[in-house]
C-alpha cells in the first residue's frame, strides 16, 4: 500500500476496524470521519472513473459549496469555495502528495499546470474551511489534497484515448512495474480542448480564442530502505500552450508558453508503533513566456511619462489622455500652454475637471515634467507628432522556483493523547524583468503542532496551530480548536473554530511591473526600446494579510445498516483585509481593506444503495455580504465592478445529485448540477451522462465509453464570452489495461 498512509499509523489505507472510514488531511493525523476537526469531502478513484470528467476543476463541482469559474484574463479555470474572485485562484491550498502547487510569485493555482492524470489519483480529500493551522498561509478557505496511487497498485500498462467536440483530444499512457523491492511508474499525458465559443457564436462555431494544449511525463519510485524506513521519489516535466486574449495595442495574441518540472522526495522512519517521523523535500520550477508584436503611440513610451506615472499616476494618465486631443482647438491650447509653461497647476486642474471630469492634485514640478514630454513631440511648428505610432516586440517572461523542506514527527503518548508537530523552510524565488525588474525571493519559516486528546470516551478535543515568519509579510499565527461529541462510534457533533491568513504574494506586495517594447521602428524620441508608461512600483504597496475567522457546527453519521454516510454543517465566516482590487499593470489602487461576511449551510450524502448502485448528493446555501474599503480614488464604474467581483463566482443555492449503476461488464452514471443566483442573477444547470463497457480478452482488458454534457440554460459562466455555441458537449473514450 502507498506509504503516504503509513504516517498515520494504521494498517489499512482508509478504513479502521469495523469498516470505519478515515481521512488524512484535516489535522495530519489519520482519524475516523466522526473524529475529524473539520468538514471533509472525500472523492475516491472509483467515483472519478464513474463520473468520467477530464479535469480537476470539473471534479471539484461535486464538492458542496464549491463552484467552477474561469479567469477572463489568464484563461485559467478557477475554483471558489463559498466566494472569491474568479480571475485568479488564490485562497485555496492545493497539495499533491504533500507538495504545494500554489505558485510562488503570483499567488494562484493554475490547474492546467498540475502534472497529475486523473487515472493516477487514488483519492482527493477536500477540507472545507480554513486550515492554515495545519498547512499554513494560503490554506485560507480550504485545502484540496490529491493523493496519487502507489506504483504497486497500478502494475502493468494502461492506455487511454479521448476525443470529442469542442476540440477535446486527450491521450494517456502509463507503465508500472516492480523489481526486487523497488516499485516504479512512468505516466505521460496530453490534453487539449478549444475552451469557450464566445457570446455571439452559434451552431458549434468557435469565436473565442481560448484553447489549450498541455502535456507532461511523471515518474514515481518507491522502495524500503530497511524494515522501518521507506523512501519515495517523484519527478515530472511538463510543457504547455495556452491562448491569451489580445489587448487593443497588440498586433497578435500574447499566447503563453510554459515549462514546468519538479523533484520530490520523502523519507519516512518508524521508530516504534507509537512514534514515526518523515523528512520531505522538493524543488519545482515554472517558466512562462509570452511574445507579441505591438503598435503604440510614441508618447506612451516616453521615459519622462514613465517616471511621472510613478510620482502621480492620475496626472500621468491625464497627460497621455490630453495628448490624444492634439489637432483640436481645446487640445492644442492646453498642450501648448503646458509645453510653454504659461498655465498654472490650478488652471490645468480646472481645465481637466471641466473637460474630462477628473479631480487632480498636481505640483508645479509635475506640470513642468508634462511640459517637457510635450516639448519632445514639438516638430518646430506644432505638436502633431503626439499622434505618431511606432511598433515593436513585447516579451513577458517569468521563472519561478520553490525550495521546500519539512520535518514532521508523530507520537502516540498514551491511549488518549497523541500529537503531530514539525518545522519547515520554504524559499519562493522569482526572476522576471517584466514583473520584478530582476530577481526577488521570499523565505518562510514554519512551526506547527496539533494535539488530539480523548477527554472522555465520548468527547474528543483537537487543538493546534501554525506560526509563520516571512521576509515580505508580517509574522502570522493561525489557530484551530475543535470539540467532537461522539453520540456513537460513527456519529458525532462537532464544534470548530479556526483562523487563517493569506499572505500577499510577491506581485501584490513587492511589484516592479512594466512592459518593455523592443526593436522599435523610427520615432521622434529616437528610442530602440522603451517601457510603456503605465507601471507598478514596490513603494506603492503596504498590504496586510487577508484574514478569516470561521465557526462551524456540524454533524457526521455513518448508518451501517443503510450503507449511508451523512455530513451536515452550518457555518459563519468573517473575512477581513481582503485584497479585492484587480492586480494589473494599470491598477491605480490596491488595498487590503475589503470585508466579507458569509453565512450558510451544507450537506453531503453518500448512499450505497446496493451492490450495484450508489448515490451522491450535495447541497449548499451561501449568503455572502461584501463591504468595500476606501474607494475614493475609484471611478463609479470601478466601484460597481469591485462590489461584485468577490461574488461573481458564488451560487446562493446549489444542488448536485449523481447516481451510478454498475452492471456485470458495463456501467452508467448520471449527474445533475443546479446553481441558482450564480454570478448574482444567472441560473446554471446542466446534466451529464457517462457510460462505459468493459471486456476481458485473455490477458487484456479493453473498454469503451461515451460522455455527454447537456447545458440547460443559456447563461454564461462568469463573463459574457464564457458560453458554448451548442448545448451538448461530448466525447468518446477508449482504454486498454494489460
Q: Which residue has the cell 494502461?
A: 158
Q: Express each pLDDT in 192-236 by its tens digit.
A: 999 888 888 787 788 888 899 999 999 999 999 999 999 999 999
| Per-residue pLDDT tens digits for 659-673 | 999 999 999 999 999
Long-range pairs for 8-13: beta carbons < 8 A, 24 or more residues apart: 8/410, 9/273, 9/274, 9/276, 9/410, 9/412
Pairwise CA distance, residues 28 & 31, whole Å = 9
Task: With a cut of 70, say whether residue 158 has pLDDT above it.
Answer: yes
What are the contacts of 52-58 at 24+ separation with CB within 8 A?
52/669, 52/688, 52/690, 52/692, 52/705, 52/707, 52/733, 53/118, 54/118, 54/162, 54/168, 54/170, 54/191, 54/193, 54/731, 55/111, 55/118, 55/191, 56/111, 56/114, 56/116, 56/118, 56/146, 57/111
Average pLDDT, the chain: 91
- Per-residue pLDDT of 106-128, as tens digits, reads 878 899 999 999 999 999 999 99
The DSSP symbol for 522 reads: P
Identify the CA nearest to 375 among candidates 326, 335, 347, 346: 335
7 confidence band (pLDDT: 50, 70, 90): very low
Using pLDDT thresholds of 50, 70 and 90, give the confidence band for residue 492.
very high
CA trace torsion 675, 678, 683, 685 (10° rounding): -40
φ, ψ dihedrals at 609, nearest 5°: -70, -20
Read off the C-alpha cell for 405. Answer: 523542506
Cβ–Cβ under 8 Å, residues 6 and 30: no
Let me know: does 493 contact 487? Beta carbons within 8 Å: yes
Is 278 a residue whose pLDDT tops 70? yes
pLDDT in tens, 662-712: 999 999 999 999 988 777 777 889 999 999 999 999 999 999 999 999 999
Average pLDDT over residues 138-167: 95
- In angstroms, the Cα distances linking 120 to 58, 96, 111, 115, 706 are 16, 11, 16, 10, 20
Query: Is the Cα torsion angle 428, 112, 240, 716 positive or negative in sign?
Result: negative
Using DSSP, state whether 138 is helix, strand or coil. Answer: coil
Rg of the chain, C-alpha, whole Å: 28
Domains and CATH numbers, the chain: 3-148 (2.170.130.10), 151-293+395-737 (2.40.170.20), 303-375 (no CATH)
Q: Is the pLDDT of residue 11 over 70?
A: no
Residues in the chain: 738
**Could you give the angle at which helices 329-340 and 345-356 cross, rounded to 10 degrees?**
160
Place of cell 465592478: 641
DSSP 8-class letter at 700: B
**Residue 414: partners with Cβ closer than 8 Å, 6 or more residues away:** none
**In angstroms, rounded to a whole number, what is the distance separating the alpha carbons of residues 648 and 395?**
31
Provide the terminal-to-terminal Cα distance of the chain, rounded to the nearest Å.
Answer: 20
Neighbours of 721 (CB within 10 A): 21
Which has more pLDDT, 407 or 26?
407
- If one counts every other C-beta atom within 10 angstroms of the C-beta of residue 631, the result is 17
- pLDDT tens sequence across 72-110: 667 888 888 998 877 777 899 999 999 999 887 787 889
DSSP state of 588: S
Q: Are 10 and 24 within 8 A, CB to CB?
A: no
Q: How confident is the model at residue 19 (pLDDT cuts 50, 70, 90)?
A: low
| Whole-angstrom distance, CA of residue 66 vs CA of residue 162 | 27
Residue ranges of alpha helices (H) inside 247-327 are 303-311, 313-323
Q: Which residues lie across from 675 on neighbouring strands?
A: 654, 684
Provide the pLDDT for residue 684: 84
Q: Tell which wins on pLDDT, 531 or 638.
A: 531
Q: Quick one: average pLDDT of 317-336?
A: 92
Amino acid at each position: 500500500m502507498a506509504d503516504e498512509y503509513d504516517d498515520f499509523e494504521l494498517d489499512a489505507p482508509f478504513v479502521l476496524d469495523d469498516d470505519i472510514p478515515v481521512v488524512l488531511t484535516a489535522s495530519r493525523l489519520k482519524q475516523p470521519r466522526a473524529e475529524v476537526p473539520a468538514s471533509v469531502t472525500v472523492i475516491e478513484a472509483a467515483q472519478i472513473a464513474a463520473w468520467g470528467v477530464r479535469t480537476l476543476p470539473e471534479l471539484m463541482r461535486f464538492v458542496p459549496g464549491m463552484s467552477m469559474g474561469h479567469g477572463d484574463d489568464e484563461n485559467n479555470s478557477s475554483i471558489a469555495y463559498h466566494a472569491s474572485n474568479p480571475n485568479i485562484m488564490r485562497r485555496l491550498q492545493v497539495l499533491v502528495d504533500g507538495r504545494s502547487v500554489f505558485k510562488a510569485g503570483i499567488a494562484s493555482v493554475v490547474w492546467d499546470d498540475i502534472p497529475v492524470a486523473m487515472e493516477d489519483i487514488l483519492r482527493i480529500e477536500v477540507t472545507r474551511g480554513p486550515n492554515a493551522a495545519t498547512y499554513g498561509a494560503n490554506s485560507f478557505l480550504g485545502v484540496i489534497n490529491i493523493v496519487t496511487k502507489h506504483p504497486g497498485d497500478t502494475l502493468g500498462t494502461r492506455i487511454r484515448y479521448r476525443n470529442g467536440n469542442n476540440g477535446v483530444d486527450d491521450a494517456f499512457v502509463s507503465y508500472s512495474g516492480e523489481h526486487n523491492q523497488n516499485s516504479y511508474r512512468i505516466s505521460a499525458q496530453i490534453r487539449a480542448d478549444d475552451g469557450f465559443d464566445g457570446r455571439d457564436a452559434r451552431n458549434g462555431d468557435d469565436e473565442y480564442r481560448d484553447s489549450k494544449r498541455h502535456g507532461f511525463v511523471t515518474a514515481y519510485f518507491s522502495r524500503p530502505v530497511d524494515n522501518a524506513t521507506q523512501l519515495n521519489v517523484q519527478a515530472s516535466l511538463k510543457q504547455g500552450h495556452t491562448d491569451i486574449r489580445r489587448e487593443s495595442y497588440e498586433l497578435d495574441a500574447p499566447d503563453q508558453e510554459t515549462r514546468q518540472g519538479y523533484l520530490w522526495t520523502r523519507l519516512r522512519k518508524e521508530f516504534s508503533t507509537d512514534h514515526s517521523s518523515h523528512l520531505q523535500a522538493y524543488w519545482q520550477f515554472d517558466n512562462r513566456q509570452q511574445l507579441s508584436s505591438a503598435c503604440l503611440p510614441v508618447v506612451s513610451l516616453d521615459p519622462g511619462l514613465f517616471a511621472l506615472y510613478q510620482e502621480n499616476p492620475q496626472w500621468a494618465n491625464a497627460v497621455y489622455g490630453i495628448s490624444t486631443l492634439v489637432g483640436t482647438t481645446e487640445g492644442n491650447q492646453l498642450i501648448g500652454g503646458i509645453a510653454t509653461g504659461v498655465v498654472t497647476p490650478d488652471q490645468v486642474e480646472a481645465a481637466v475637471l471641466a473637460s474630462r471630469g477628473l479631480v487632480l492634485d498636481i505640483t508645479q514640478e509635475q506640470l513642468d515634467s508634462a511640459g517637457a514630454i510635450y516639448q519632445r513631440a514639438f516638430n518646430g511648428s506644432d505638436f502633431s507628432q503626439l499622434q505618431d505610432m511606432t511598433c515593436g516586440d513585447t516579451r513577458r517572461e517569468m521563472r519561478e522556483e520553490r525550495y521546500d523542506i519539512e520535518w514532521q514527527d508523530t507520537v502516540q503518548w498514551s491511549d488518549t493523547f497523541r500529537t503531530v508537530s514539525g518545522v519547515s523552510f520554504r524559499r519562493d524565488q522569482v526572476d522576471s524583468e517584466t514583473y520584478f525588474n530582476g530577481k526577488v525571493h521570499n523565505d518562510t519559516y514554519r512551526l506547527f503542532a496539533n494535539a488530539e486528546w480523548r477527554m472522555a470516551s465520548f468527547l474528543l478535543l483537537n487543538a493546534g496551530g501554525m506560526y509563520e515568519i516571512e521576509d515580505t509579510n508580517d509574522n502570522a499565527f493561525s489557530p484551530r480548536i475543535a470539540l467532537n461529541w461522539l453520540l456513537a462510534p460513527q456519529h458525532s457533533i462537532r464544534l470548530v473554530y479556526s483562523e487563517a491568513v493569506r499572505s500577499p504574494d510577491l506581485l501584490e506586495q513587492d511589484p516592479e511591473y512594466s512592459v518593455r517594447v523592443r526593436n522599435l521602428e523610427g520615432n521622434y524620441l529616437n528610442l530602440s526600446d522603451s517601457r510603456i508608461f503605465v507601471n507598478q512600483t514596490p513603494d506603492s504597496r503596504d498590504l496586510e494579510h487577508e484574514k478569516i475567522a470561521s465557526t462551524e457546527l456540524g454533524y457526521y453519521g455513518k448508518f451501517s445498516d443503510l450503507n449511508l454516510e451523512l455530513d451536515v454543517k452550518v457555518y459563519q465566516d468573517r473575512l477581513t483585509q481582503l485584497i479585492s482590487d484587480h492586480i494589473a499593470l494599470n491598477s491605480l489602487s490596491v488595498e487590503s481593506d475589503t470585508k466579507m461576511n458569509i453565512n450558510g449551510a451544507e450537506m453531503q450524502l453518500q448512499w450505497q444503495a446496493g451492490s450495484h448502485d450508489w448515490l451522491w448528493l450535495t447541497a449548499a446555501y451561501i449568503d455572502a455580504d461584501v463591504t468595500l474599503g476606501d474607494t475614493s480614488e475609484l471611478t463609479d464604474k470601478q466601484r460597481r465592478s469591485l462590489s461584485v467581483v468577490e461574488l461573481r463566482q458564488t451560487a446562493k443555492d446549489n444542488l448536485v445529485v449523481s447516481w451510478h449503476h454498475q452492471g456485470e461488464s458495463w456501467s452508467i452514471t448520471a449527474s445533475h448540477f443546479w446553481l441558482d443566483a450564480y454570478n448574482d442573477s444567472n441560473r446554471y444547470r446542466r446534466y451529464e451522462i457517462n457510460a462505459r463497457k468493459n471486456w476481458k480478452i485473455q490477458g487484456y482488458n479493453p473498454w469503451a465509453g461515451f460522455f455527454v454534457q447537456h447545458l440547460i440554460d443559456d447563461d454564461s459562466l462568469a463573463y459574457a464570452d464564457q458560453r458554448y455555441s451548442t448545448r451538448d458537449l461530448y466525447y468518446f473514450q477508449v482504454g486498454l489495461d494489460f
